Amino acid sequence: MTVSAKALAAVAIVSVAGWVAPAFAEDPSYLVLGAGKWEIFRNVDHAAEFDVAYRPDWTWWILRPQVGMVAVTDGDYYGYVGAVAEVALTDHVILSPNVSIGGYGGHGFRLGSHIEFRSGGDLFWRFADASRLGLGMYHISNAGITRRNPGSESLILQYALPLGRGA
């Protein structure tokens, strides 16, 4: 998929998300913890991935900022900042498409650049105490800014721990 096609897809997702209800306005900040598999679509030994992200309780429309870190058992790491669109599909089901930019390093899978983009989404079940449990799927690539751009996909199980207000 080209960079312009990815950008168009991201705009379409956020536009459609605007037609459905934003997530709960009273929701707190979240510490999102995740564990899963790195490079899920490659025919290789899949390394384990561990994610941690902070999503503060302030929003603009349906967007919430996020900052996070990914550590992989093959030695790769990725720190990122970005935005999450929080959409309540039902009283308990939250869809969270998100995009980020960050720095990549390590000695595992070579992504082709130290600057990488992350796009994907989460599907969470929101409990009465505002905590969330869900699955996330992500794609990390350099969007063609270098000649080498293999990308990597991840599938992770996540728990969003509510912090502060509303928790």
Mean pLDDT of the chain: 82
Q: What tokens does 12 get?
A: 């379409």
> Residues 109-136, buried b or exposed e (16+ Cβ, 10 A)?
bebbbeebbbbbbbbbebeeebbbebeb
Provide the pLDDT for residue 99: 94
pLDDT, tens only, 101-141: 988 777 766 665 678 888 999 999 999 999 999 999 998 87
Higher pLDDT, 19 or 157: 157
Provide the pLDDT for residue 20: 47
Provide the pLDDT for residue 38: 78
Average pLDDT, integer, range 74-94? 91
> Residues 34-60, buried b or exposed e (16+ Cβ, 10 A)?
bebebbeeeeeebbebbbebebebebe
Tell me the domain boundaries of the chain.
3-163
Alpha helices in the chain, H assignment, sequence order: 3-17
Provide the pLDDT for residue 163: 94
Higher pLDDT, 56 or 59: 56
Q: Give φ, ψ of 113 to 5 degrees.
A: -160, 155
- Angle at CA of residue 134, ends 158 and 45, nearest 5°: 55
Q: What tokens does 103 get?
A: 């720095």
Q: Which CATH number fits domain 3-163: 3.40.47.10, 3.30.450.20, 2.40.160.20, 3.40.50.620?
A: 2.40.160.20
Task: Give the C-alpha distances (Å, rounded to integers) separating 51 from 21, 68, 74, 92.
Answer: 27, 7, 14, 23
> pLDDT exceeding 90 applies to what percent of the chain?
43
